[in-house]
């Protein structure tokens, strides 16, 4: 089983403070793009998926 990297509480607190995240909407907005890019890269690498325009 693959080990998952985990963030420490201090890392999460620093991320929240650095990005001035006050509400869950702020958190969602801050994480949406990086997660989308990561998932896209994973799909392309692991499954050979490419978006067709």
Please state, in angstroms and rounded to a whole number, the distance separating the CA atoms of residues 49 and 42: 9
pLDDT at 50 (0 to 100): 65
Is residue 53 pLDDT above 60, yes or no?
no
Q: How many other CB atoms sit within 10 Å of the CB of residue 16? A: 14
Digit-coded pLDDT (tens) for 40-52: 888 888 887 666 6
**pTM summary value:** 0.56
Give the residue extent of every domain in the chain.
23-53
Query: What is the chain's mean pLDDT, rounded?
Result: 86
DSSP 8-class letter at 23: S
Q: What is the pLDDT of residue 7?
A: 86
């Amino acid at each position: 089983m693959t080990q998952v990297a985990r963030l420490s509480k201090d890392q999460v607190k620093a991320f929240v403070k650095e990005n001035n995240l006050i509400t869950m909407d702020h958190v969602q907005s801050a994480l949406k793009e990086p997660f989308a890019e990561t998932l896209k890269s994973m799909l392309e690498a692991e499954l050979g998926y490419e978006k067709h325009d």
